[in-house]
Amino acid sequence: MTNEVVAENIIIQDAKLFIDGRYVESLSGESFDTINPATNRKLATVANGGKADAKWAIDVAQRTFASGVWSNMPVEERSSILCKMADLIMKNVDKLAYVETLDVGKPIKESRGFDIPRAASNFRFFAEMAKYMVHEHYDMSRHMSYVQYAPAGVTSLIIPWNLPFMQLTWKASAALAAGNTVVVKPASYTPLSAVMLGEIANEAGLPPGVLNILTGPGSTVGTEMCTNPSIRRISFVGESNTGKTVMRNAAENLIPVSLELGGKSANIIFEDADLDEAVAGSIEAIYRNQGEICLAGSRILVQESIYDLFLDKFVAAVKKIKVGDPTDESTDMGALVSRGHLETVDNYVQIGLAEGAKLAYGGKVVANLADGNFYEPTVLYDVDNKMRVAQEEIFGPVPVIIPFKTEEDAIAIANDSIYGLAGVVWTNDLRRGQRVTSQIHAGLLWVNCWYVRDLRTPFGGAKASGIGREGGRHSFDFYTEAKTITIKK
């Protein structure tokens, strides 16, 4: 029986596994509920897949890959199907955005205005780029060599709960454009939008078995997706310790992995910055998506000469953030993904205060929204970078504000972290911007902006923030095998 929640003429349906072009129940018949973070009430029933389901999906993907129905399809035809998927995503933008908002707890204006349109752009970008990949050619006196980029094979994609549809399409569009077959596992907290991609794939004409979507726990489904010998690529986005487990599991069969992991990025504000611009950008960089984003500028480093002024302006701006119903277009910040995660975030705030940090604003559950997982946008200041709240990823709306004296101090503090995903520098001296970003150990750096992404550029982190790069040709490098073929003339 279908569980239905009707709003904006949209029906939320129960989620099944998508294997070989069909929606099916789990082999065990077991299921679990996905919960609306804004109400903590049941949203839908989800098939609870297990190891046997994962093996089934992988076997289907392997047979489909070996058949050549997708891997040998002319790239122009593959591109056309993927572009149709992009069109269908935009045709269903309202439904997808609403489902995403209900399942994740994020504001509808972010889902509808950015996440889902970006998902369509992911498919269109890689579909078009696949047609123009350059195959290298080298002439020798008596021989000719050329490099052919062949699809790697069955690809496992393990997707996080914070930006589920956008992350899924970012990975799947590139893997599919390269000619691979794909098995996807969305996070159990937020599976609904990912499962909807199966219907879109069928309507676009994607051959059955090319895309398979599994819902279920990482301990069974995820483990099989990382250890099955038929898997030839694994792309994982999530927490750093889980990433280590993925890598250990993949090592048994020497499966190449791409890992995008945690972050504790430095957001550095120099005294010569446009202060209003820096405040607005810093607000966006930590409170977007409730702070549940790996790229968050969660360590705000402020030069001492402007520290008090920045803090006053920043807190004044935070007080204007509207926390509330995620489906309301005027909401700026929605609910955290689960009650357990809300408790984790609150616990970090208490740890920070016990360590000596000061509270400028927030620091508690939103009183009039106590049925949901709503936490106040919080500001901790006078933080020392050695504190746990400065070193550990909170993954919530809790920045820590740290003073610094000189440019050298800022660089040292920024690099004093196990993470190296991203960083931001605010300054009107572009030479300083280039100098500082070149010395920060991170994969993505912005100057006087944040979260601006060109899909042609590499994306990934350093240190505990990950291994490998995806984006543009870097995605194709990962999802293909390079073959050098030499012919005697």
Q: Which positions are catalytic?
A: 260, 294
SS3 31: strand
Distance, in Å, from the CA atom of 215 to the CA atom of 36, rounded to the nearest integer, reads 17
| Both structure tokens of 67 | 């058949």
Phi and psi, residue 325, nearest 5°: -50, 120
* C-alpha distances in Å from residue 420, one per residue of 163, 235, 275, 286, 439: 20, 18, 25, 16, 12
Bridge partners for 213 per DSSP: 18, 184
Q: Are 260 and 163 in contact (CB under 8 A)?
A: no
Which residue type sits at 4? Answer: E
In this structure, what DSSP letter does residue 15 have? B
Q: What string of DSSP letters covers 305-328? A: GGHHHHHHHHHHHHTTPPB--TTS
Three-class SS of 55-66: HHHHHHHHHHHH
Distance, in Å, from the CA atom of 10 to the CA atom of 78, rounded to the nearest integer, reads 31
* C-alpha distances in Å from residue 268, one per residue of 275, 349, 446, 454: 12, 22, 10, 22
Q: For residue 480, what is the enclosing H or E element?
A: strand 480-488
Three-class SS of 242-263: HHHHHHHHHHCCCCCEEEECCC
Q: For residue 171, what is the enclosing H or E element?
A: helix 164-177
Distance, in Å, from the CA atom of 233 to the CA atom of 298, rounded to the nearest integer, reads 31
Q: List strand residue ranges (DSSP E) for 152-297, in order.
A: 154-158, 181-185, 211-213, 231-237, 257-260, 266-269
Q: Are 224 and 255 in contact (CB under 8 A)?
A: no
| Both structure tokens of 479 | 């999802």
In this structure, what DSSP letter does residue 14 have? P
Q: Are 355 and 400 in contact (CB under 8 A)?
A: no
